[in-house]
Amino acid sequence: MQIVIKGRNMEMTSALREYAERKVRPLERLFGNIMEVQVIMSINKNPSVERNQDVELSALVNGVFMGVEEHDNDMYRAIDKAVDKLSRQVSKYKERIQEKADMKYTQAMSMAEEMLEDRKEEKEKEEEEEELQARPQQIVKRKSFLLKPMFPEDAAIQMEELGHAFFVFRNAETESINVIYRRRDGDYGLIETR
């Protein structure tokens, strides 16, 4: 597994680099097909941002891109949180692969390539938007993505893998835009548009 560690808007110390590598390395034991993990650490210089230590972890796992972001006022804690979150994503992905072992290889690779391309475009747009200074009560981050038709059950799995509280998708049965979300009781809710 290749580990790439980068710093943005900060000086990268050897202690910080070694700590990040030591925390990320055990992911390889969790799932052997992790080809690369990229760690990007940055400091948000905006004085109004309290948790200004940012860590982005992205992993290429069996041809599928997985990524998380964490923010804290301590870089070491941000690294710990991001690694924990990515570990959960990798574990869920591993379980999903085992449950769907009958999925054809070509379908899986096609889906992985599409996810990688979508995430790459999303990442480029996020980086462009992060260059702008954030001001209170303004829209400071936008995401755009292609709505691919999927069933609500698949949307729930995707939402959990991303670690989001909701997920917008095009319903494969009705072709309408839907939102699936996690309820406080742990179940899911589905909002359908007409």
Q: Tell me: the pLDDT tens digits for 137-181?
A: 667 678 777 788 999 999 999 888 888 889 899 999 998 999 999
Domain with CATH 3.30.160.100 in the chain: 2-132
Domain 2-132 in CATH: superfamily?
Ribosome hibernation promotion factor-like (3.30.160.100)
pTM summary value? 0.50
Q: Which CATH class is domain 147-194?
A: alpha beta
Domain with CATH 3.30.505.50 in the chain: 147-194
DSSP string, the chain: -EEEEEEESS---HHHHHHHHHHHTTHHHH-TTEEEEEEEEEE---TT-SS-EEEEEEEEETTEEEEEEEEESSHHHHHHHHHHHHHHHHHHHHHHHHHTTTS-HHHHHHHHHHHHHHHHHHHHHHHHHHTSPP-TTS----------EE-HHHHHHHHHHHT-SEEEEEETTT-SEEEEEE-TTS-EEEEE--
Q: Tell me: the pLDDT tens digits for 64-110?
A: 788 899 988 888 999 999 999 988 888 887 777 777 655 555 565 66
